[in-house]
Structure 1
Amino acid sequence: MRQLLDTVWQRRGTSWVWDEEARNQVCAASEVWSLRQFLRAVGNWPEDLPSNGSNTLVVAGLDGSLDLLGPTDAESWLGDTIKPAILSFQDEYGGDAALVFWLPGGNTRIKAQAATDEVSWLCHTPHGHQIDLGRILWGQANEYPQEILLREGGKAAGLFHLRIT
């Protein structure tokens, strides 16, 4: 998987971030939206986003919602609800804003296959199943997600995708 040292993820595209230092670079904790707020805003997006000089929206709660659903329901919900919401956000801001999903603990739950760059989400027990995020959210365009690095040689802080189609 390609690595990204640039800060473009803070201003554009969609990211899944699990590193607290990375999240703190784009927002204060009080600026984080709940997943419910995010889904209610679809089609009625604010003119000014709450973080990073109105360039970024950070959303928490995706991980908890996925944990409550069985794998089949989670896949359907991601494809039928979350992906259209991401597309709506992208369309509203014309690619000139960043959507960041805050996933504390995501470093142990998001798995990228080195050989294929396929990205999956490891469900909590009792399911213990993997959800194919790449297939559901970015249609297997596996060459596009990039690992976010905060410094050369550092651990991945999240994943970045410039535009989901």
Structure 2
Amino acid sequence: MRQVLDTVWQRRGTSWLWDEEARNTVCAAGEVWSLRQFLLAAVPNGSGWPEELPSNQGRTLVVAGLEGSLDLLAPDQGEVWLGDTIKRAILSFQDEWGGDGALIFWMPQGDKRLSVLPTTDAVSWLCEAPHRGNQLDFGRLLWGEANEYPQEILLREGARAAGLFHLRIT
């Protein structure tokens, strides 16, 4: 998988972040939105997107709760919800902010739960109890298996990945 050392993920695109140091570079704890707030902003007649994003000098929205929500769903329900509701909300954010805002999903256990198949760069979500052993085809559901596009976020040369970054989901 390609890697990004640049800070572009802090200003544009969609990321799934699990490194606390990386998260702290873009937001304070009180600026993190709940998944519920995010989904309400994305639906017609919902709360709508803010005029300015809450973090990183108005350039970033950090959302927590995706991990826990996926764990509450059976794998088949999780696939439908991820590929429909979550993807639609991401697309809504992209439509509103274009290249002027970053959407980051804070996933503290993401390094253990997102699995990248080295031969194809396909990304899977590893389900937890009571559905341990099952996987969701994360990449196919969110970015249609355009596996050449997601990149591992590195904070410095030689560091472990801090998350995954995708410039634009279609």
Please confirm whether the aligned pair reaches a TM-score higher than 0.5, indicating the same fold. yes
Please tell me the residue identity of whatever aligns with 1:144: Y
Residue 69 of structure 1 is matched in structure 2 by 73
Q: Is 1:11 paired with 2:14?
A: no
Shift of 1:104: 0.3
Counterpart residue number, 2:95:
91
Partner of 2:153: 148
Shift of 1:152: 0.3
Which TM-score applies when normalising by structure 2?
A: 0.96
**What is the match of residue 119 of structure 1?**
123
Q: How many equivalent residue pairs?
A: 165
Range that drifts further, 58-67 or 41-50: 41-50
1:117 shift after superposition: 0.2
What are the Cα deviations for residues 37-87 of structure 1, in whole angstroms up to 9, with x where unaligned?
000111511110000010000000000000000000000001110000000
Which residue in 2 is equivalent to 1:136? Answer: 141
Aligned to 2:67, what secondary structure does the other structure show?
helix
Distance 1:2 1:32 in 2: 28
- CA–CA separation in structure 2 for the residues paired with 1:8 and 1:134: 20
Report SS of the residue matched to 1:95: helix
SS of the counterpart of 1:48? Answer: coil
The residue type paired with residue 99 of structure 1 is L
Inter-partner Cα distance in structure 2 for 1:2 and 1:94: 23
Structure 1 unaligned regions, length at least 5: none
CA distance, structure 2, for counterparts of residue 134 and residue 107 of structure 1: 15
- Give the superposed CA RMSD: 0.6
| d(CA) in 1 for partners of 2:89, 2:153 | 23
Q: What is the DSSP-based 3-state SS (H/G/I as helix, E as strand, rest coil) of the residue aligned with 2:99?
A: coil
Deviation at 1:105, TM superposition (A): 1.0
Structure 2's unaligned 5+ residue stretches are none
Query: In 1, distance between residues paired with 2:156 and 2:13?
Result: 20
Counterpart of 1:122, as a letter, is L
Please state whether the residue corresponding to 1:74 is helix, strand or coil: helix
Task: Find the aligned partners of 2:91 and 2:137 in 1 and give their Cα distance.
Answer: 18
TM-score in terms of structure 1 length: 0.99
Cross-structure match for 2:163: 158
Inter-partner Cα distance in structure 2 for 1:61 and 1:146: 22
Q: Note the C-alpha offset of 1:126.
A: 1.8
